[in-house]
Amino acid sequence: MPVLTPDTARSSSSNWPQVRDAALERATALPFPTADEEIWRYSRIAELDLASFRPVATVTSISGVTDAARVTHVPASAAAVDASLANLFDGVRGNDLLSELNLAHMDVIVVSVARNTVVSQPIVITHTADVDGAMCFPRLVIDAAENSEVTVVERFVSADGVRSLVVPVLDARTAQAARVRYLGINELGTDSWLIGQHQSVGQRDSDTLLATVALGGDYARVSTSARLEGQGGNTRQVALYFAGGTQMHDFRTLQEHAAPRTTSDLLFKGAVQDTAKSVYTGLIKIHKNAKGSAAFQTNRNLTLSHGAWAESVPNLDIETNDVKCSHASTVGPIDEDQLFYLESRGVNPDVAQRLVVLGFFDEVLAQLPVGDLAAPLRRQVAAKLSIGGAS
């Protein structure tokens, strides 16, 4: 199995040996994932050769920081860490080989917001993979104390022609009555891979939004686990993904209700053109003690070319009958009636398709936590449509 050696890991992770070395030890004992496992079904994991990459320090910039939030960047090469930061990782473990490797090599950014504090402007974190053959392990911890509010935007960027592997982890902790808004934007080049995990835990009366926009990368995968542990907690997950050429976007989600009268809502919308592929599998899990909970899951996919392929698999696991749950899933081409309506009024067929696709995505764009980003992201989608075209 092509796993990083202990010497390689320790050369860049001598800081938190109790966390990093333990993670590396667990990683070396884990098998390499395969598409035979349900969680990796339909994926391209068999194409990944970890031995062809080397750990490289993440190039990161941070903007929008104010006195309202404490933002701490601890690179993998740091000589020491504050005890309060180290405590955030007590008992933290990865759930597979790649998340354990993230712990062993993590380049950490911690966003801490004190009780009753509102951070008025978004904190923007940009990771740039600019070294060919690089493997990067950014880890973002959002620690929102009671009745606080914060918005964080995390961007992943690389140029076409740069072969890289980005393995990010988001750890969002939303305390009682706190509000966390997160937006991850994948703008990687066509030769980069992203295999990421989002984890959130919401306490009583908390509200967490996990938003994703995926336009880049060769193979891009995000697994999300949104767990509600406090009564009255709420989570929302929204995603926009658009794959062209030979790209593949892969999403796995879990909406977990472990407390009564909790609410979760999910809306993922994607499009594939040329010979691109997408996968969505989602699970709503309602525990026996989560009476009075409500959970909703919607995944819509457009196939814009004959060679494009999309898979959508929603699931429910409900242990109590005092709940409201629904799931919906669609995969198919653009409605011919919509195209006919526009074309009958003199709209060029290519323009008509572009208008329909952009309208399809507007529902997600309207829910992004940073409204100013909707317009440029919409332009990126339009540009991608122009490159791919219809067939």
* Tens of pLDDT, residues 250-302: 999 999 999 999 999 999 999 999 999 999 999 999 999 999 999 999 999 99
What's the pLDDT band for 390 if we cut at 50, 70, 90? very low
Residue 16: its pLDDT value, please?
62
- What integer best gives the mean pLDDT of the chain? 90
Question: Can you tell me the distance from the alpha carbon of 22 to that of 6, in angstroms, rounded to the nearest whole number?
Answer: 11
Kindly indicate the confidence band of residue 7, based on its pLDDT and cuts at 50, 70 and 90: very low
Looking at this protein, which amino acid is placed at residue 285?
K
- Letter for the amino acid at 323? V
pLDDT tens string 13-60: 334 667 888 888 899 899 999 999 999 999 999 999 999 999 998 899
116-135: string of b/e by CB count within 10 Å (b at 16+)?
ebebeebbbbbbbbebeebb
> What are 175-188's pLDDT values in tens digits?
999 999 999 999 99
Question: What value does the mean pLDDT take over residues 242-246?
Answer: 96
- pLDDT reading at 5 higher than 70: no
Q: What is the distance, to the nearest Å, from the Cα of residue 101 to the centroid of all Cα atoms in its chain?
A: 18
Residue 2: the pLDDT is 39
Q: What is the pLDDT of residues 332-375, one digit of tens each?
A: 998 888 888 888 888 888 888 888 899 999 999 999 999 889 89
CB neighbours of residue 23 within 10 Å: 25
SS3 205: coil
Given a contact cutoff of 8 angstroms between Cβ atoms, the answer to whether 352 and 342 are in contact is yes
Cα–Cα distance for residue pair 18/90, rounded to 1 Å: 10
